Amino acid sequence: MFGFTYFTPTKVVFGRKTEEQVGELVCREGATKVLVHFGGQSAIRSGLLSRITASLDAAGIEHKELGGVVPNPHLSKVREGIELGKEMKADFILAVGGGSVIDSAKAIAYALAEPEYDVWELFAHKRTAKGCLPVGTVLTIAAAGSEMSNSCVITNTETGEKRSYNDDIARPRFAIMNPELTTTLPDWQTESGCADIMMHTMERYFVNGGTMELTDSLAEALLRTVMHNAEILHHDPSNYDARAEVMWASSLAHNGLTGCGNDGGDFATHMLEHELGGMFDVTHGAGLAAIWGTWARYVMVDCLPRFVRYATNVMGVEAKASDEETAMAGIEAMEAFYRRIGMPTSLRELGVEPTEAQILKMAESCANACGGVKGSAKPLRCEDMAEIYRRAR
């Protein structure tokens, strides 16, 4: 087991109608001028945005709204937010939406704290942030875990790069989580969200470094819980309890809890997916599901004990004649689960058919973003990454 720092400063306010507390929560942060950031039409259509602004009005808080954040959020929208934030002298950014809106809000918050710098420098890893305006969130989709994470992922459409920047100073001050808000989600987004939640824990589980029994057991319980409730939601999308289980899992899967004591995790599948997102604008969770099985087969023998444990404790596979067979049965069971909830298990099923030139470009870009090598289950280099894209077709 490795030593670790576990830092989760986010106040979680969970349950029905909790969004009505937003004005009071922002007030307690000492904020007076709030930039309210949201996505496309969903928050307007459901009436959520009106309820949020009414709560801010009742608390006497000045606010301006900026919508239009798209999935795989764009740097250009971040720049728009920076201009508005400067103009209104915002002292707090409130994200109403999912990972894309929250990440766009975090990027605006970084930029407003250090207006003399270009914010993309953070994502290009040319410098580290010295400050970040406070961010609060009203979560509308259980998926990315950005509501409690230190991570922020932005796409630069000019270069086709989707890049992340991680820093504890961007962890949101509060996260309002009302599972009812997620009942308006299209099934595809609910299911992609479940795939992403599971991956955040699986990235921390398939390691060759240190491990810790308590962390492993928490991770396994989380994975079983998400699988069970994803299947319920596939048939009964309005089931509140299933929505609640999945929503709480989204935060715990990516706030660091399921990585305590390990070596920092693998995260190669995420890095491979980010390139697919940058080039083909795919839904993040679905992109992960499409590539995971190929990644798993590619690295399995280098991380065999973890794959055997996963097969047994998470997928409920009975021991086979050899560890390899048990591990492979676990991978197949996972892919069968993806199919049952409508997730792709190949790039073709994802709707993407990259050419050899595109594969090489993604692999090079991925290797560059990782500093040449990525992964704990099996460290991957550029040629491994290209081979995984090829086999995932």
User: Any contact of residue 141 with ligand NZQ (CB under 6 A)?
Assistant: yes
Token digits of residue 244: 């609640």
- Contacts with ligand NZQ: how many residues (CB under 6 A)? 36
Only one of the segments 15-23, 139-147, 297-305, 356-364 lies at the binding site for ligand NZQ (rule: CB under 6 A); that segment is 139-147
Where helices occur in the chain by DSSP H, the ranges are 22-28, 42-45, 48-58, 75-88, 99-113, 120-123, 187-205, 213-235, 240-254, 268-280, 284-299, 304-313, 323-340, 347-350, 356-369, 382-391
Token digits of residue 87: 């103009």
Cβ proximity of 177 and 147 under 8 Å: yes
Residue 355 region, left (φ>0) first, then alpha (ψ -120 to 50), else beta?
A: beta
Cβ proximity of 163 and 121 under 8 Å: no
Q: Which is nearer to ligand NZQ, 206 or 311 (CB)?
A: 206
Cβ proximity of 385 and 366 under 8 Å: yes
CA distances 172 to 53, 136, 376, Å, are: 19, 5, 28
Cα Rg of the chain, angstroms: 20
Give the strand pairing for 62-66 and 92-97: unpaired
User: Any contact of residue 99 with ligand NZQ (CB under 6 A)?
Assistant: yes
Only one of the segments 54-62, 181-189, 344-352, 360-368 lies at the binding site for ligand NZQ (rule: CB under 6 A); that segment is 181-189
Query: Among residues 12, 18, 61, 71, which is the contact residue for ligand NZQ, using CB under 6 A?
Result: 71
Q: Which is nearer to ligand NZQ, 107 or 308 (CB)?
A: 107
Task: Find the shortest distance in angstroms from Cβ 141 to Zn ion.
Answer: 12
Q: Which is nearer to Zn ion, 53 or 201 (CB)?
A: 201
Query: Among residues 18, 55, 72, 258, which is the contact residue for ligand NZQ, using CB under 6 A?
Result: 72
Cβ proximity of 170 and 110 under 8 Å: yes
Report which of 169, 19, 30, 170 is spatially closest to residue 97, judged by C-alpha positions: 19
Q: Which is nearer to Zn ion, 52 or 252 (CB)?
A: 252
268/280 Cα distance (integer angstroms)? 18
Q: Which is nearer to ligand NZQ, 113 or 333 (CB)?
A: 113
Query: What does DSSP assign to residue 157?
Result: T
| Partner from Zn ion, ligand NZQ, none contacting 141, C-beta within 5 to 8 A by type | ligand NZQ
Q: Which is nearer to ligand NZQ, 59 or 247 (CB)?
A: 247
Sketch the per residue contact string, 179 through 208, with Zn ion: x for CB under 5 A, - otherwise: -----------------x------------
Task: Find the shortest distance in angstroms from Cβ 220 to ligand NZQ.
Answer: 20
Task: Find the shortest distance in angstroms from Cβ 80 to ligand NZQ.
Answer: 15
Only one of the segments 112-120, 142-150, 257-265, 329-337 lies at the binding site for ligand NZQ (rule: CB under 6 A); that segment is 142-150
User: Any contact of residue 101 with ligand NZQ (CB under 6 A)?
Assistant: yes
Sketch the per residue contact string, 260 through 289, with ligand NZQ: x for CB under 6 A, - otherwise: ----------x------x------xx----
DSSP assignment of 51-91: HHHHHHHHTT-EEEEE----SS-BHHHHHHHHHHHHHHT-S
Helices 356-369 and 268-280, interaxial angle, to 10°?
Answer: 130
User: Any contact of residue 255 with ligand NZQ (CB under 6 A)?
Assistant: no
Query: Among residues 12, 25, 35, 43, which is the contact residue for ligand NZQ, using CB under 6 A?
Result: 43
User: Any contact of residue 94 with ligand NZQ (CB under 6 A)?
Assistant: no
Contacting positions for ligand NZQ (CB under 6 A):
39-43, 71-73, 97-101, 103, 140-141, 143-146, 149, 151-153, 181-182, 184-185, 189, 193, 196, 254, 270, 277, 284-285
Positions that interact with Zn ion (CB under 5 A):
196
